[in-house]
Amino acid sequence: MKDVREALMVARNTDGKLVRRPLSPHVQIYRWPISMALSILHRVTGVALGVGTLLLTWWLVAAATSDAAFATAQWFIGSALGLLLLFGWSFALFFHLYSGVRHLIWDAGVGFDSPTYNVTGWAVVIATGVSTVLVWVIGLAVW
């Protein structure tokens, strides 16, 4: 062993023999609890929303540039691909928002016990679903 961190992995068993400490199972081994899935989804939606800012930038630049540029941007957003991206964006935004609120509540030191953990986790999922559908029902009705 060349790395000092490796040295921490060496221990003696009850017979006094030097052994390598066992590792805890990795991600693939665990049965995924809701919080594990939501944790990674929070990061994935965060990065996705970052990519989505490109669409916001295009829309604002087009509006600032000319009628023709704005028409092109509006055409893309109204196309099947544009609407799909917009749907993904709204889902990611609502998820990241509700999940973010869950994080803020944790930051206040509340909701760390396991039953609450699961309840707030599912609440995030349900709130995201309801909000996304609701916004699209209203949006398409107005449009």
Partner 1 sequence: MAGTPHVDMLRSPLGRARGLGSAKAGSAHWRAQRTTGLALLPLSLWFIYSVIHLAGAPRAAVMHWMSAPVPMVLMLALIIATFHHLQMGLQTVIEDYVHHEPAKMVALLLARGGPWLLGLICFVSVLKIGF
Pair 58, 73: CB distance under 8 Å = yes
Identify which of 78, 95, 88, 87 has the alpha carbon closest to the alpha carbon of residue 143: 78
Pair 85, 55: CB distance under 8 Å = yes
Cα 5 to chain centroid, rounded: 32
Q: Per rule CB under 8 A, is residue 56 in the interface with partner 1?
A: yes
Smallest gap from Cβ 31 to partner 1, in A, equals 23
Tokens of 38: 């939501």
Closest to partner 1 by CB, 5 vs 31, is: 5
Q: Per rule CB under 8 A, is residue 93 in the interface with partner 1?
A: yes
Q: Per rule CB under 8 A, is residue 19 in the interface with partner 1?
A: yes
Q: Per rule CB under 8 A, is residue 39 in the interface with partner 1?
A: no
Kindly tell me which residue out of 36, 75, 78, 122 binds partner 1, with binding defined by CB under 8 A: 78
- CA separation, residue 115 to residues 31, 53, 93 (Å): 17, 36, 26
Specify the amino acid at residue 95: F
Tokens of 143: 């449009």
Kindly tell me which residue out of 32, 57, 110, 133 binds partner 1, with binding defined by CB under 8 A: 57
Chain positions contacting partner 1, by CB under 8 A: 1-4, 6-10, 17-20, 43, 46-47, 49-50, 53-54, 56-57, 60-61, 63-64, 67, 70-71, 74, 78, 90, 93, 97, 100-101, 103-104, 107, 135, 138-139, 142-143
